[in-house]
A = this chain, B = another copy of it.
């Protein structure tokens, strides 16, 4: 993997880069659509390419439980299994073990938990997570961490963050010197700056090819997230990609890029789509609402995606009303296109050094409070 920063914003920490992986080259900053269970919900890989997806994210925890590693191994890895030949990033399972699994018991060794699907007893550890991600064959793999809740005491965060660093080292050792898969470390530390700094220093000392900032966008106010993120990225090497986990609304993406983030992911654009909430250049549009029943304009008149070129709000509302699968498809397609298109424009604005101006224009039109 090779990462090159090609432009840096003159008045912010925003940067434009190129990330080369075994399955393709990624222009950063980038949003990564989430394909939890080896499918970006409702979409085919061809459609993902059509809308400009450069890399997708998939979830170790979910794939570990279903279809399980025996099938993933026989399938020859995740790329082949799901028919996606572009870059894939997998998370470590840490987040889901701490947010989704039942009756978890954390020890230094790892985490014992009950599957949220069938209650079966399972175990994940740094080594196990990396072993799974080796089988999945993803281009970027993540160290096994604890994503601590918010709020949490300093004592809890300190203990958890120190363990995450020890786990990161075990991940790195287990991963060895493979070059086809790249292991990222995850900075934790909650909302405590000194702990964030210590976590960053510890991970940077281990020399990962990239770094994620975890434990943000977990319920804290946006201002606080921005402050902690801004502080944290200063301790990460400039020549390595930086990934903010779990962020996928336009404002969070702008704020993240402004603070030096290169990669982000989130289930929101697709989850909201399935609930009938679409993003448009003038803000959110709940297409399920009755007021769109006779609105024959596209979801977003300024959008040139397949959905906006061919379907009306009235039709899409009808599909939602009648619980038709095509509703989920069209809304998901548009939302992902909207966000990927936004990232393309953000990249152009960083390259042309008008990022803050573009952000300001977008915020005003979208209805966000300008900052």
Query: What is the interface of chain A, defined by CB distance below 8 A to chain B?
Result: 37-39, 41-44, 66-67, 70-71, 74-75, 81-83, 293-294, 296, 310-312, 314-315, 318-319, 321-322, 324-326, 328-329
Contact = CB atoms under 8 A, between A and B. Distances in A.
Nearest to A41: B325
Contacts of A319: 37, 39
A42 to B, nearest CB: 4
B44 A329 contact: yes
A296 B37 contact: no
A310 B85 CA distance: 11
A293 B72 CA distance: 11
Oligomer: number of copies: 2
Given A44-B329, A321-B67, A82 B315 contact: yes
B315 A41 contact: no
Q: A-B pairs with the 8 shortest C-beta distances? A: A42-B325, A67-B318, A83-B310, A39-B326, A37-B322, A39-B324, A66-B322, A74-B294
Given A39-B319, A43-B326, A75-B312, 14 more contacts: A37-B322, A37-B324, A38-B315, A38-B318, A39-B326, A42-B326, A66-B318, A67-B318, A71-B314, A74-B296, A82-B315, A83-B311, A325-B325, A325-B329
Contacts of A311: 83
Contacts of A82: 315
Contacts of A44: 326, 329
From A66, A293, A326, residue with most partner B Cβ within 10 Å:
A326
B81 A315 contact: yes
A321 B66 contact: yes
A321 B39 CA distance: 13
A71 to B, nearest CB: 6
30 contacts: A37-B319, A37-B322, A38-B318, A39-B319, A39-B326, A41-B324, A41-B325, A41-B326, A42-B325, A42-B326, A42-B329, A43-B326, A44-B329, A66-B318, A66-B321, A66-B322, A67-B314, A67-B318, A71-B294, A71-B314, A71-B318, A74-B294, A74-B296, A81-B312, A81-B314, A81-B318, A83-B315, A325-B325, A325-B329, A329-B329
